[in-house]
Amino acid sequence: MSKKILVASGQKIIDDSIRSFEDYEEIGVIQYRKELYEACEFYKPDILLVAEALGGKESLVTILFQIVKDFPSIRIIYLAGNVDFKDELKVNSLGLLIMAGVTDVIHESKISIQMLKHILDTPKTQEDMAYLIKKVQEGTGNHKNNLIQFEIPKEENDEEDADCYKNLHVFSSIKPGSGKTFLSTNVACAIASSGVNTKEGKKPRVALIEADLNGLGLGTFLHI
């Protein structure tokens, strides 16, 4: 049975190549980024093939995060183009996409028809892309001026909420892709699983609050 592909490459040569492959059925061609989400909802493809060359000024990574969240059964193949590994924002974005489930991230500067067929036939895993995840975890540069963690002190006259205030932390940055979601999620999970027990001997309870209402990365990151 042929797998249904929604093509959003922005390049006619790729669109034409897909039509020539056996075992794959092109069910639609998308020309603009703003059409991606609704097209996935309408066509319900098995595979979404999307490339950085797709028309539009919208953030492609943000759209893909939303598609992963709402349509987890769609396999996304992202032709990201050549990636400069000194580009912190790009590397972080790709790494977070991979951790969210978009493991078919192709960042070669050139691909052939044979390579494209191999990409379709051979899904990648997170293990295959571990080198990109590692770069996100290690950091590709100096984040000292990008990421800020601070503790909100308790008010002197607020004894009731003393424990809450001294354990409230904010992970903030004006720069997208600097690691806010990655760091805050891992810190919260570490505290919940390995933090100091409460006076009652229970594991600590952790609330993780999303403050970036444009990105909503926590839901995607935690598959919620």
Average pLDDT over residues 168-180: 80
Q: How confident is the model at residue 115, as a pLDDT?
A: 93
- Rounded Cα distance, 201 and 12, in Å: 63
For residue 29, which amino acid is it? V
Residue bearing the bigger pLDDT, 171 or 200: 171
Give me the chain's average pLDDT, please. 82
pLDDT band at 144 (very low <50, low <70, confident <90, very high): very low
Enter the pTM of the model: 0.63
- Rounded Cα distance, 60 and 165, in Å: 38
> pLDDT digit string (tens) for 14-31?
888 998 998 999 999 999
Residue 179 has pLDDT above 70, yes or no: yes
Nearest to 188 by CA among 162, 201, 213, 207: 207
For the ranges 26-35, 46-55, 159-168, 209-218, which has the lowest average pLDDT? 159-168
Structure tokens given for 18: 């897909």
- Rounded Cα distance, 174 and 108, in Å: 30
Measured on CA atoms in the order 193, 196, 202, 208, is the torsion positive or negative? negative
Structure tokens given for 47: 């595979």
User: Kindly report the CA angle at 78 between 182 and 21, in degrees rounded to 5?
Assistant: 155
What is the Cβ-side half-sphere exposure of residue 169, based on CA atoms within 13 angstroms? Answer: 15
Residue 147 has pLDDT above 50, yes or no: no
Residue bearing the bigger pLDDT, 6 or 139: 6
pLDDT band at 49 (very low <50, low <70, confident <90, very high): very high
Antiparallel, parallel or unpaired: β 104-106 and 75-79: parallel
Residue 150 has pLDDT above 80, yes or no: no
The three-class DSSP label of residue 41 is helix
Residue bearing the bigger pLDDT, 161 or 191: 191
Average pLDDT over residues 105-116: 89
Residue 120 has pLDDT above 90, yes or no: yes
Residue 5 has pLDDT above 80, yes or no: yes
Please state, for a pLDDT cut of 90, what percent of the chain lies above it.
33
pLDDT band at 141 (very low <50, low <70, confident <90, very high): very low
pLDDT band at 143 (very low <50, low <70, confident <90, very high): very low
Average pLDDT over residues 185-197: 82
